[in-house]
């Protein structure tokens, strides 16, 4: 295992930095704020006795909608031990919080809180990479909710991205929170597999995204009846 100073372009630092991206989206993500890893400037890894492996990173993070970038420092601990435990992340990128999204979030919230018909959308993006502009905030929301899963599932041997939101359906508003059911397809780079998850989550401007339930779907989409062989 690489220890000490890491090449920022190599996979060890890149995978750890992607975990920071997922963490930041769980903390700061919203329908109008979505973060992506822009660059890794430097990284360091060390073994921590009885704990796991700790990465220290200097990265740049970009807010996807405004294209604003910010440099952040972060620490990622991948726990050791038999149990599959989620990485622990410490990072702050407070400059990005200053991007003012309050008005847009409030407007979206009010619009969908009282809607007589509940939102339902499929295939975000579609096969051609297209997303209806009105649906983009919900694509962002599902990615933010998926970040909780991607954060939980990450290890030094994985790299997760959201491949597609297969379906997002609005459910009845609960305790002043908009509520959604989202079927998301995650792409895991190292295995090249597409993994299906179902999420139940809520959102409001003051509370942010809160995941209530998540469930991996045992999807055998590539399993088909073999042809009759003669």
Partner 1 sequence: MLFSVGLSLVVLLSVVGAATVERVEYDYYKYHPMPEITDWMVQAVKDYPEVVTILEYGQTYEKRTISLLKIGINTGEKKKAIWMDCGIHAREWIAPAFCQYFVREILQAYKTDPKMQAMMTNMDFYVTPVLNIDGYIHSWKDNTTRLWRKNRSPGPLNCTCYGTDLNRNFNANWGTLGISFECCDNTFCGIKPVSEPEAQAVTYFVGNRKEDFLCFLTIHSYGQLLLLPFGHPNFTASNYDELMKVGRGAADAIRSVHGKDYTVGTSPDVLYANSGSSRDWARMQGIPLTYTFELRDDGTFGFELPQDQIQPTCEEAYSGALHIITYAHDKTFSGATATAATLWSMLLALGVTGTTLM
Binding residues (CB under 8 A) for partner 1: these are 7, 9-11, 14, 18, 36-37, 39, 64, 122-123, 125-130, 161-164, 166, 185, 187, 189-194, 220-227, 229
Ordered DSSP codes for 30-88: BTTB-EEEEEEEEEEEEEETTTEEEEEEEEEEEETTT--EEEEEEEEEEE-SSS----E
Q: How far is the CB of 114 from partner 1 (least distance, A)?
A: 31
Give whichever of 7 and 216 is closer to partner 1, judged by the CB atom: 7
Give whichever of 83 and 127 is closer to partner 1, judged by the CB atom: 127
Yes or no: say if 210 and 202 are a contact pair by the CB < 8 Å rule: yes
Backbone angles phi, psi at 53, to 5 degrees: -120, 130
Give whichever of 161 and 212 is closer to partner 1, judged by the CB atom: 161
Give whichever of 25 and 202 is closer to partner 1, judged by the CB atom: 25
Angle at 33 between CA 30 and CA 36, to 5 degrees: 115
Q: How far is the CB of 205 from partner 1 (least distance, A)?
A: 24
Q: How far is the CB of 173 from partner 1 (least distance, A)?
A: 29
């Amino acid at each position: 295992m690489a220890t000490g100073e890491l090449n920022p372009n190599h996979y060890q630092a890149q995978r750890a930095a992607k975990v920071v991206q997922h963490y930041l989206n769980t903390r700061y993500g919203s329908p109008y704020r979505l973060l992506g890893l822009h660059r890794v400037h430097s990284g360091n890894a060390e073994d921590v006795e009885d704990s796991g492996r700790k990465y220290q990173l200097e990265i740049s993070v970009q807010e996807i909608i405004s294209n604003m970038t910010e440099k952040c420092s972060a620490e990622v601990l991948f726990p050791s031990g038999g149990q599959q435990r989620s990485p622990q992340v410490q990072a702050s990128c407070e400059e990005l919080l200053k991007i003012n999204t309050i008005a847009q979030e409030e407007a979206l919230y009010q619009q969908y809180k009282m809607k007589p018909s509940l939102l339902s959308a499929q295939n975000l993006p579609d096969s051609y990479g297209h997303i209806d502009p009105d649906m983009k905030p919900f694509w962002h929301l599902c990615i933010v909710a998926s970040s909780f899963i991607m954060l939980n599932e990450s290890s030094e041997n994985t790299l997760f991205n959201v491949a597609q939101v297969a379906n997002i359906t609005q459910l009845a508003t609960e305790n002043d929170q908009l509520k959604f059911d989202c079927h998301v397809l995650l792409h895991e780079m190292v295995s090249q597999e597409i993994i299906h998850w179902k999420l139940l989550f809520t959102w409001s401007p003051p509370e942010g995204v809160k995941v209530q339930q998540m469930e991996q779907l045992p999807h055998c989409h590539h399993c088909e009846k073999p042809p009759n062989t003669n």
